[in-house]
Chains A and B, each alone.
Chain A
C-alpha cells in the first residue's frame, strides 16, 4: 500500500500543496487533472525522481521519502516512453535485470514471459526508432513490469497513441491490473478514468480536490471544478448486454437503457449528457428509444438555464432553458416523461 502524507513541493512552474493520498494493493488508481495541475509532478515524486519539500511517502508502511529511486520498487512508464534509442527492444527490457544479480536462465525466462504477455515477442530485435506508438508503449510497459515493481506508475499512457490503438492498450492495462498489479495512472481524460479506474483523485492547482470511487466522484462532484471537469450527472454503473441484435445497458438490475455501442459485453458506466434529454408532458411519440415516466424532484438554476432532476426508476438530470421551465411549469411533484436517443448514450 502506498500512502502520501501532507506532501508539498514547488518545482519550476508546478506545485503540490498538502497532498494526502492512499492507494491500496491491486487498486487501479487514476489521478485526474488538467495540464499544469501538478499530477505528473506527483508521479515523479512517488517514483523518487524529485524529493518533496514537506511530507512523507510510505510504501507498505515503510517511510521511503528519502530512499533512492533505484531502491524504491516503483516502476514508471513515461509519457514519451523514454525507450533507450541505442538499444534493441530486448536490451531495453533486460536493462533492469542487468542491474540486478539474477542468473542468465531466469533472465531469459522473464524476458520471454513478459514479451509474450505484452505481445511483443516479434519485436525483440528491433530498434525503438522503428516501432509504432502502440508497440513502443508495450515495450515500455514490458521494460518496467519485468522488474516486478510494487507499484506501476503511468504518465498519460494513452495520450500519444492513435484512437484505434488506445482500446488495445486499455485492455492490456486492465489485464495487468487484474493480475494484482497496483497501478497509478495519470491522465487529463475522464473517459480514461472511467474506463480503467477503480478509484480516482481529481487534482487541480497542486491540490487533491476530491477522491473516491469512480462512482462517488463522478456522481457527486463536491466542487464546481470537479463538476465542470467531470461534468456528467447522468452517470450510472451498468452492465452492457446484447439481445436480438440490440444493445442495452442494465442499471440497478431493473432499468434497461437502449444504446449504440460496439464495446464488449460486461461491466461499465453509461453516461447521458443532461442537455441530450428532452422533457414531455405525456408519453412522447418520437424515434427516441429511451422513454421514462417520472416526477420532478428539484429545479436548480444553473449557469445556462435550469437543472431539473427527475425521478424515474433512476434519477436523471435534465438541462432546460428558463423559458421551457416556466412554460412547462416544471415544479416539484409534476409528472413528466423524459426521452433520449440511443445515440446520446455513451458506454465506457
Chain B
C-alpha cells in the first residue's frame, strides 16, 4: 500500500509527538541505576509518602464523587437559568494556575478563617494535614469527575427514565436502577481521571500542606535539597505506581461493555 505525501507527513508528526511524551519518561527510567532504585524503594519516607498520596487521593475522590453525582445528574438532565455560568464555575479549577488555587484555598481553610475555626472546634486542622491535602487535591481534580459523570448521564436516553416512571418507579428508584447503572462507565472513568489528577497534584497542595509530604512535594524537596540524582528514583517509583494504578482502574472500567438501547 502506497501512502500519500499527507499521510507520510501525518505519520512522521505522530511519531514525533509520541516520542515527546515517551522520551523524557523513558530516559528517566534508563538513567536511574539499580542501586539507587533499590535504596530508594527501601526508604521509609518515600514509601510513607507514596502511601499517603494514594490513600488521600483515593478517599478524596470517593467522598467528592458521591457528593457530585446528583449535581452531575442535574447538569445533564435539566435546563435552568445560568446553567452556562454554572458549567464555567465547574471548569474554573482547570484553567486557573494551581498555585493560585492553593493560595485561594489557604485563605479559605486557614486557622483564622471561619471554616478553619469551625474545624478547630472538632480538633481538626486543614493546614499541614492530610485533610488539607485532600481539599487541595479535590479542588483541582473535581471538574474531571463532574464533567465525565455529566456526559454519562446525558448519554442515557430520557425515554428510559420516563419508561421507568410509567412502570411505577419513583424518581429516586429510576435514578438508582436505570440512570446510574447506564452512566456507570463514564462515572468510573471520571473517577479514574479525578484520582489520577488528584494524586499528581503539586501546586495547590504544596501551598496548603507542605507537610506531611505527598510524593510530588517530596520529589520537589529531594530535588531542591539533594539534586536531580536523588529526585529521579523517587520519580521513577511514583510514575510506575501511578501507571500501574491507572492501567488497573482503566481495565476495570472497560470490563463490561453495556449494550445500549
Contact = CB atoms under 8 A, between A and B. Distances in A.
Interface residues of B, number: 21
Interface stretch (B84-92, B167-175, B212-220): B167-175
B34 interface: no
B23 interface: no
Interface in A198-219: none
Contacts of B173: 99
A49 B166 contact: yes
Nearest to B162: A49
A84 B261 CA distance: 7
B182 A86 contact: yes
A100 B157 CA distance: 24
B159 A80 contact: yes
A148 to B, nearest CB: 12
Interface in A105-162: 127-130, 143-144, 147
A94 to B, nearest CB: 10
B166 A95 contact: no
Interface residues of A, number: 27
A145 B168 CA distance: 13
B160 A84 contact: yes
B166 A75 contact: yes
B184 to A, nearest CB: 9
A144 B261 CA distance: 17
Nearest to B168: A99
Given A80-B159, A82-B163, A86-B181, A128 B169 contact: no
Nearest to B178: A84
B185 to A, nearest CB: 11
A49 B157 CA distance: 15
A207 to B, nearest CB: 25
Contact of B182 (A82, A85, A144, A147): A85
Interface in B241-261: 258-261
B165 interface: yes
Contact of A78 (B163, B181, B259): B163
A85 B163 CA distance: 12
